Amino acid sequence: MNWNDGYVADLDYPAAYFAEQSPSHLNIACILNGVEPLPVDRPFTYFELGAGMGLTSNVLAASHPQGSFYSNDFNPAHVASARQLADEAQLANMTVLECSFADLAQGKADLPPLDYITMYGVYSWITPANRQCVVAFIKRYLKPGGVVYVNYNALPGWTRTLPLQQLLLEHASCNPVPRVRQLEQARDLAQELAKSGAAFFDGNKQLEHRMASLSGDKAGYLAHEYLNSGWEPLYHADVADELADAGLAFIGPADLSGAFEGDYLTVPQQELLAGIDDPRWRETMRDYLLNTSFREDVYIRGPRRMSAARQAAWLARLGVTLTSVADAVVAPEGANGADAPAMRQLLDALASGPKTFAGLASLTGSSLQAVARLAARLSAAGHAACYFLGSETADAAPARRLNRAIAAQSTLGDHYQALASPKLGGGLRSGLAQRLVYQCLAQAPAGAQPEAGDISKRVESLMLGHFASCAPDSPAAAALHAMRAALPRTVAAILAQRLPIWRSLRMM
Ligand SMILES: C[S@@+](CC[C@H](N)C(=O)[O-])C[C@H]1O[C@@H](n2cnc3c(N)ncnc32)[C@H](O)[C@@H]1O
């Protein structure tokens, strides 16, 4: 084996931001699942395993100046990118390590005991031996009460699509051509097979979105998703057993709405689960009910269950804000249509800015739990984010430095698609037009608010480099042309609707 242990290392993974990895978000998941969270209003330590280009860690470090953040990757190109972003934003609380999971398990890095360890797109993409290293690392460094976030491709949901990955991997291993070419050829082959009426594709609904992803997603993403030799979807019970070796217990899904089963299980399904006490078996049954193909879970080393009164006290320390512009929010569907009026009331209240759970409970005449449930559903639908009330006074300077660095980078490429908010303790995914408008506003003299028309012209000139970096007839070029044509309207909308959100979340 080479240094990369069969893991794709000749094509970079695209940068991405994942809110679920935020310490604040994980604490809120703990609270909603009735488990004592870690206090993040004081110094804490955080480690991201396999951080790729490091966008998530950098956004989290910038938006939690009270925390010390560490990340690792064994791919030097990823490490260099992550360090560069941290340096440009002068994030003194961010350390990027170039080392493998085996190095970490053996204690080769100089690290303090850790409060949080997270990994996105890692656990089911690496070899079993590397999974053992991850578990050994957690065992070695995670503090009692420490929180782990892990996600993985899961069974039984992958059962009917597993052979597609095998086809791509096998085809790639027989084709010693450059990686991008391997992917193109494997994709063409899968499409040809499907068109030829291959029985494997017959009536296999689950393959549809995987095939669509093969056509539409970036080569870097596809290579890391499908072409690792250790790739293996896992059952919850197996992961729970492996992590139990590090003293971890499963406490709930990282998706906030996952804490409210009534929103996604039918009554008979809830009754079926209600009779099961063993959490390992209960989750297994849930995965069969939902045919789960991807899990995002929170584990704790020594979880402490809270009383209802203690949970209510924590809920009273939370707030919620819209992250989509108010006009664009469609109330998410839930299993329980009776919620519609309460959801409408909540959305109307949030249209004028962030609100506390307690304020919303008195406004709507409902309990903190009921507000939490609706807020969780809005957050899972990508329209809102929950936050800790104390975070409003956190130092906003590091997040603003990172946002400026990301906005400046956006004039050269479209890699870093998020901006940081100290109020949220995390970031918001932000499109290219938004980041270029941010860049124009950040460059304007203090106190001046440039005219929308001037910003539109400036953004158009900042986009020119993007045209140069893609082939004239490519889908990327078509998307840029469409963006340029819509700029005056887009810029006006960003100034009218997005800028107030940035301001209320202390992002600029
Ligand atoms: C699918 S990518 C996910 C990156 C990042 N977490 C994200 O979601 O954007 C997995 C990352 O793990 C790294 N990785 C894989 N095996 C590793 C190992 N044994 N030691 C250190 N890093 C590893 C890869 O280089 C890659 O950057």
Nearest atom within ligand 1 for CA of residue 15: 9
Across the range 288-313, mean pLDDT stands at 98
Considering the chain, what percentage of its residues have pLDDT values greater than 90? Answer: 75
Distance CA 110, CA 104 (A): 9
Mutate which of 122, 137, 165, 231 for ligand 1 pocket (most atoms within 8 A of beta carbon): 122
336 pLDDT higher than 60 = no
Distance CA 490, CA 456 (A): 9
Nearest residue by C-alpha to atom 27 in ligand 1: 52
Cβ distance 402 to 59 under 8 Å? yes
Strand partners, 98: 73
334 pLDDT higher than 60 = no
Alpha helices in 381-474 (DSSP H): 397-409, 432-443, 452-462, 464-468
All residues at 6 or more sequence positions from 398 whose CB lies less than 8 Å from its CB, including other chains: 61, 62, 63, 65, 89, 90, 91, 93, 420, 422
Q: Tell me if 16 CB under 6 Å of ligand 1.
A: yes
pLDDT digits (tens, 9 = 90+) for 455-480: 999 999 999 888 888 888 888 889 89
Q: Tell me if 75 CB under 6 Å of ligand 1.
A: yes
Q: How confident is the model at residue 331 (pLDDT cuts 50, 70, 90)?
A: low
Q: Which of 312, 334, 179 is nearest to 265 (CA)?
A: 334
Q: Tell me if 51 CB under 6 Å of ligand 1.
A: yes
User: What pLDDT is recorded for position 204?
Assistant: 85
Distance CA 442, CA 406 (A): 11
Cβ distance 107 to 113 under 8 Å? no
Fold of 19-156+232-301: Rossmann fold (3.40.50)
pLDDT digits (tens, 9 = 90+) for 22-74: 999 999 999 999 999 998 889 999 999 999 999 999 999 999 999 999 999 99
Q: Tell me if 12 CB under 6 Å of ligand 1.
A: no
Mean pLDDT, all residues of the chain: 93
Nearest residue by C-alpha to atom 24 in ligand 1: 50
pLDDT digits (tens, 9 = 90+) for 417-439: 999 999 999 999 999 999 999 99
All residues at 6 or more sequence positions from 278 whose CB lies less than 8 Å from its CB, including other chains: none
Nearest residue by C-alpha to atom 25 in ligand 1: 75
Q: How confident is the model at residue 202 (pLDDT cuts 50, 70, 90)?
A: confident
Amino acid 299 reads Y
Q: How many CB atoms lie within 10 A of CB 239?
A: 23
Q: How confident is the model at residue 223 (pLDDT cuts 50, 70, 90)?
A: confident
Considering the chain, what percentage of its residues have pLDDT values greater than 70? Answer: 97
Q: Which two structure tokens, joined as six digits, stand for 121?
A: 């797109």
Cβ distance 218 to 53 under 8 Å? no
Q: Which of 177, 250, 255, 258 is nearest to 219 (CA)?
A: 177
Three-state SS at 424: coil
Query: Judging by DSSP bridges, how do beta strands 384-388 and 355-356 pair with one another?
Result: unpaired
DSSP secondary structure, 271-339, as one string:
HHHHT---HHHHHHHHHHHHT-SEEEEEEESS--BPPHHHHHHHHTTEEEEE-S-GGGPPPPP-S-GGG
Q: What is the CA radius of gyration of the chain?
A: 23
Across the range 161-170, mean pLDDT stands at 92
Domain boundaries, the chain: 19-156+232-301, 159-226
- Length, in residues, of the chain: 508
Higher pLDDT, 317 or 230: 317
DSSP secondary structure, 200-227, as one string:
GGTT-HHHHHHHHHHHHS-HHHHHHHH-
Strand partners, 48: 71, 118
User: What pLDDT is recorded for position 1?
Assistant: 56
Ligand 1 center–CA 77 separation, angstroms: 12
314 pLDDT higher than 50 = yes
Q: Which two structure tokens, joined as six digits, stand for 465?
A: 């480099």
Alpha-carbon distances of 225 from 18, 195, 290, 320, 445, rounded to whole Å = 16, 23, 22, 33, 44
User: What pLDDT is recorded for position 335?
Assistant: 47
User: What pLDDT is recorded for position 337?
Assistant: 66
Ligand 1 center–CA 137 separation, angstroms: 15
